Structure 1
């Protein structure tokens, strides 16, 4: 386990006693492996000194209590700024799966991370997160299709240690949950309310909340201490997944004038008050998977806003931007996700050109007429922003007229590393093979051909490829194909190309793929969704394949259902 993180040369520097010291305890070995991986310059004598420091007497292996000693040693070895970020992990309850982005956005709002060595603050936060992964302080439990960690967990014993350190330093105050934390001796600065009945309320008795600048709640809003939403110096308010949200709560939030991070994701809020415009320091507003369908015009007063996150991708519910949105005051925007664009969005789309810092644009619903002014403006905006910092582009166009028009772009969005086009594409945009930085591609198409696959195989950096065939019919009993999904009866995956591809997702009535020898040499995972499994050939030619995930469409025929029952 430890050796997998090190080169052969570095392994030779490490005395066997280092691993013997861990006493065969899995967590001790894992944490020490992370420590070793982050210190490649240490020589054998350095590691012997570590052993002596942790086991000064007889050199006997550490017992269960020794894991805490190893945790303490490895924690103290971390750079100061990463120690701070690690203490923040105890905000979340034991056993909880947490989004990487949720964590890093909170770090930014708290001021734990800043620009460094030419990297943006966001990129530095990613670096710190990856360092904690390498240290084995956190464990990746879910990856995005571009290979990045999507969510993580913290081992119970690691979290217990972090809670203890955070309590000692009065960094975070945890109330309820699985931890019995001593009441803070002075002011509460970061408060995490994790529930727990009578002990929960007792834990808050006598606490001074007047200096709370970060408030996180899990469960019901009825558990909030009285007047807690009136705390004027709160910078981070995270109510993700909370229930019992009332209109009054929204009004109170608009009085938290220093707020930088606001998450109301998966709450019952249905309207954002106009007074949101008073939150002049707000950087992130997350209202995904709520009933909010429109933002007030006052949102344009928030000059520091970096992330607007709305809509629901699964249900295609989208967020309307106000018609009079003043983009000239919102030049800091980097993520604009989950929005709807229709014929009334002319001014909004025209001003998109001003958002030259935009990294991600995700349009969940598009309803515009071909040849209209807004049709041309949107195409122009995408082409313009593609020459700046646009890294992720997602468009869901049910009619697919706009998707067809993208082929005519004179200058492709060359910096894209993620592209998702959902609709009924017949032909791929001609410039798609020129996207030299593309790692993730998701396409919803009417027809897939061998020639199209051969074109895509030229993408040198492609890590994840997803296809969804949206039309055509399949006889669920015989497997005979009709209509546009026929795709010449067979799709050949070429022997060359797809050099870095590791994930392939394919959703279609029938899966007519044939893999040539040495096709997709690094492919590790295939996920297939189908009505009839016939037509998949020569998978043994996929030399690096580790996982195959099969899932039937709801309308699959009885023969197919019986086959996979």
Structure 2
């Protein structure tokens, strides 16, 4: 397999820059060492050029063992040299000597005090020089040369580089992620759905086992069935198990889902009586029919509970026995449906699942299981009878599985085993065509390419992604590719065949993007990965750097888009800005990249769902994952002194901090690790080259002031922690790019630091106020001025009446691209009020792209209408809370694609104003979902008044909103809404709603592109679902209705 050339190049780029800086420091090197550093610098530069030549090979050509071993040696010495330079940098402080301008006396004192560490480093550099010489000699001694690239008839991919694909960033299409549905299985799906919902003899529990080869679509089928039928059961839960699982975590996940639904349903009984108040769904002559119409808005609570009141924290401390008993008790009196995905052994079923299931009751409960193995499926569904499928196999292909159906049973409670067929030739070609742009379709080529994929959906869409990213290749090129992959006709696609196809798609990637793909093996199987989290980590690792005028963030987004277009990753959640919010990696793709990562010692995984052997050499990037095995997350025997990236997943009892070399760790991702303590934060502050630090969702309450030592830190993620205020030393972080804090759900904000001083604020104080000692903002200190110019994201902060200096300091953040204020508590026209508005106006002229302000008390957001110059670069704007008038300048922001505003400005006139925005992708009307009764009554009064001008309803006007695809209402009360014409929001695809009281939604059946209505619900779900399902059931082209992701109509 090919070496991770992109990772080596990324390390080389970083290293050569550091070596250049080191050579420029006259005072730092001992006599004689400069020549060694220069030699290493020159030698590694030549090695980097050689690596580039090796990164492109003709299809079917591979590096021999000698070349691969030599490339590994290059990578290892590059890592070791960089580690040495990093250690050099933090052991030899340079600030004091540079401040003293290297005076003779200070220089001599510096040389004396640092003689021993410089001597030690000189010795290490001399050793590295010898290694570099030996590696260079070894190349010639053993005949390691550039591969000969013959121009023959064999297929050869074009030499791609990431730079060639940079332009694609400019034309990325904003879209909404669709629900994945099985291909070519309509009849089978209807049959299975019927079996799941209809009573069985004596109403016993029944199990459906879905069996099939990896990548054939088992999980897609199971999830589609689960979404369609779950609404008909008393409770539901889904969980992935996989090969190496955490037994407690599996049970805890199911228990959390069941208990949440149980508590949410406690108030549903009171809402059932509201169904009697529903008016007849009749339309006046010449008008459109009503989707939902309630006589008097019943209190249908679709808000969800306050997380603080859930028993989740108690369940986190339960052991296996307690979890099993509690789950059995909760399921005992309910009709439930469970989805257990990816079971690998019969022992998992007998040891994990069976013990928590209650004794069989007459409640028609159902369990759906997916597995790759027939023996496991038969164990999970013991009361089934195999019947051969009547479908005929594909011509010339003996690998088609048979449908195994249950038609009779020796006892009540029929189980069922369904073996998933590979796709037929026609189905394969249809899926292939659906996965590439219309402009690139070619009947003969597509038929030939889809035929070598063996009817496996995974390989079909992956090959289609390869075609979509190579528009300049001819049909002749693709025929050569097919011949090189499979010289003989494909009759059976086994694991080796899948690997060949994945190899082909992988080898076509640019070196940088190959590295970014392999980096995904850090995450556990089935993990929902945040796009932004991944991009920030890529940047910290040096995999995404500035290119062709694009920033690091934009280059990372380009790489991500490439992986998406190639179908190597699967988006599963969209953001309201039209971009992917989260994605997953298919299990077989993850297994493929994991094998490459392990082979090249790129990633080391401890614990989790993988059964891998520990590396015999140095660990560079460590992923620690919770495991059901007692020793599954042990690092015993591993050499952790060279770890430069550490990621923790799950509830681990111990992380060996003291085994790491703090001087070389670049990435530390502890998101969600409950074992993090205050003492660990002191140790983290010793990781002097740290670039990425995430302690999100941990229980940390304080950031040490010594964080200022992390001068290379780029990302600080402390969201959803107990940290309420940053230390003032955070203003000393020279390279900080993103500060992420607060809690978006609860609107708790992070206070920025300030200190008392003698500086007087010039703005006049409000009448009646007495002058107090002014405070300095965290950027007001002399040492901090100009330091945080690299800060692009400041999210989740709080501004209160004591924050005038902080508000004034924001002027200095001229590089800011995103400012999110979660909590605003200031007085009208006060000093802080004036300073904040001035700062926002100034930042808006400097390139601010995202502005979010939640203002529940001060009427500050209304004052933004008076700004002399609008923030003309805005892409996303959120003004939530008490907003009573729409800023007049909003229509001049032609780049705006995401807008969130308070529902209090929801009027027909507002919609007529906003419809002219040419780029608007999503529009959200929101207010606090935790509003008090007094505030709720006030909101109702405002909205009732808003309706008066248009006959008691809010009318969505015809024409306009050309780009709008997502419309959302998140508020306690939503007034009566009406779509006046089919051209009202013509591109609209999704409506999302969350509310307490709801008056009605009219005319959505005339919207041609509407795909679904999504409701986020807990209380009152049954009543509102009945309304929607009843009104839509007669519409042939009806949009689907989803309640918590479950299809109900």
Deviates more, 1:140-149 or 1:509-518: 509-518
Match of 2:980 in 1: 516
The answer to whether the Cα contact below 8 Å between 1:424 and 1:445 also exists between their aligned partners in 2 is no
TM-score (norm 1): 0.94
Give the whole-Å Cα distance in 2 for the aligned partners of 1:233 and 1:7: 45
What is the correspondence of 1:342-381 to structure 2 with a 5 Å cutoff?
Answer: 342-381=800-839
Do structure 1's residue 10 and structure 2's residue 473 form an aligned pair?
no
Give the secondary-structure state (helix, strand or coil) at the position aligned to 2:445.
coil
Do structure 1's residue 200 and structure 2's residue 624 form an aligned pair?
no
What is the correspondence of 1:90-109 to structure 2 with a 5 Å cutoff?
Answer: 90-109=521-540
What is the correspondence of 1:489-504 to structure 2 with a 5 Å cutoff?
Answer: 489-504=952-967
1:356 deviates by 1.2
The answer to whether the Cα contact below 8 Å between 2:432 and 2:446 also exists between their aligned partners in 1 is no
1:221 deviates by 5.0
Deviates more, 1:258-267 or 1:229-238: 229-238
Larger radius of gyration: 2
Give the whole-Å Cα distance in 1 for the aligned partners of 2:747 and 2:996: 23
Give the whole-Å Cα distance in 1 for the aligned partners of 2:659 and 2:610: 22
The answer to whether the Cα contact below 8 Å between 1:400 and 1:425 also exists between their aligned partners in 2 is no
State which of 991, 997, 1005 in structure 2 corresponds to 1:540: 1005
Match of 1:461 in 2: 919
Give the secondary-structure state (helix, strand or coil) at the position aligned to 2:743.
coil
Name the one with the larger helix percent: 2
Give the secondary-structure state (helix, strand or coil) at the position aligned to 1:536.
strand
State which of 25, 36, 53 in structure 1 corresponds to 2:484: 53
Match of 2:382 in 1: none
1:275 deviates by 0.7
What is the correspondence of 1:303-322 to structure 2 with a 5 Å cutoff?
Answer: 303-322=734-753
Distance 1:15 1:532, change over 3 A: closer
Give the secondary-structure state (helix, strand or coil) at the position aligned to 2:706.
helix
Give the whole-Å Cα distance in 2 for the aligned partners of 1:297 and 1:32: 53
1:215 deviates by 0.6
Do structure 1's residue 439 and structure 2's residue 903 form an aligned pair?
no
1:61 deviates by 5.5
Give the whole-Å Cα distance in 1 for the aligned partners of 2:477 and 2:793: 45
Larger relative contact order (CA 8 Å, sep ≥ 6): 2
Do structure 1's residue 165 and structure 2's residue 596 form an aligned pair?
yes
Give the whole-Å Cα distance in 1 for the aligned partners of 2:706 and 2:933: 52
1:272 deviates by 0.3
State which of 325, 329, 336 in structure 1 corresponds to 2:778: 325
Structure 1 gaps of 5+ residues are: none
1:130 deviates by 0.7
Distance 1:513 1:553, change over 3 A: farther
State which of 293, 301, 311 in structure 1 corresponds to 2:724: 293
Give the whole-Å Cα distance in 1 for the aligned partners of 2:565 and 2:595: 22
Do structure 1's residue 120 and structure 2's residue 583 form an aligned pair?
no
1:390 deviates by 0.8
Give the whole-Å Cα distance in 1 for the aligned partners of 2:547 and 2:1002: 50
The answer to whether the Cα contact below 8 Å between 1:457 and 1:498 also exists between their aligned partners in 2 is yes
Give the whole-Å Cα distance in 1 for the aligned partners of 2:551 and 2:899: 25
Match of 1:133 in 2: 564
The answer to whether the Cα contact below 8 Å between 1:319 and 1:339 also exists between their aligned partners in 2 is yes
The answer to whether the Cα contact below 8 Å between 2:881 and 2:927 also exists between their aligned partners in 1 is no
State which of 449, 472, 481 in structure 2 corresponds to 1:41: 472
Distance 1:498 1:400, change over 3 A: farther
1:377 deviates by 1.3
Match of 2:346 in 1: none
Cα deviation 1:60-94 (Å, max 9, x = unaligned): 45334311111111111100000010110001100
Distance 1:198 1:251, change over 3 A: same
Cα deviation 1:174-228 (Å, max 9, x = unaligned): 11112222322321110111132344255x3322111110011112353312514
The answer to whether the Cα contact below 8 Å between 1:419 and 1:442 also exists between their aligned partners in 2 is yes
What is the correspondence of 1:163-562 to structure 2 with a 5 Å cutoff?
Answer: 163-196=594-627, 197-201=629-633, 204-225=635-656, 227-228=658-659, 231-323=662-754, 324-326=777-779, 328-468=786-926, 483-486=941-944, 487=946, 488=948, 489-508=952-971, 509-517=973-981, 518-551=983-1016
Deviates more, 1:499-508 or 1:92-101: 499-508
Give the secondary-structure state (helix, strand or coil) at the position aligned to 2:722.
coil
Do structure 1's residue 111 and structure 2's residue 542 form an aligned pair?
yes
Give the secondary-structure state (helix, strand or coil) at the position aligned to 2:846.
coil
Distance 1:548 1:54, change over 3 A: same
The answer to whether the Cα contact below 8 Å between 2:642 and 2:660 also exists between their aligned partners in 1 is no
Structure 2 gaps of 5+ residues are: 1-430, 755-776, 780-784, 1030-1049
The answer to whether the Cα contact below 8 Å between 2:624 and 2:633 also exists between their aligned partners in 1 is no
The answer to whether the Cα contact below 8 Å between 1:330 and 1:355 also exists between their aligned partners in 2 is yes
Give the whole-Å Cα distance in 2 for the aligned partners of 1:166 and 1:419: 41
1:482 deviates by 5.9
Give the whole-Å Cα distance in 1 for the aligned partners of 2:808 and 2:555: 32
State which of 493, 496, 507 in structure 2 corresponds to 1:65: 496
Give the whole-Å Cα distance in 2 for the aligned partners of 1:34 and 1:191: 30
The answer to whether the Cα contact below 8 Å between 1:469 and 1:485 also exists between their aligned partners in 2 is no
1:43 deviates by 0.8
Give the whole-Å Cα distance in 2 for the aligned partners of 1:370 and 1:521: 41
1:431 deviates by 0.8
1:369 deviates by 1.2
What is the root-mean-square deviation in Å for CA atoms of aligned residues?
2.4
1:553 deviates by 8.6
Distance 1:562 1:112, change over 3 A: closer
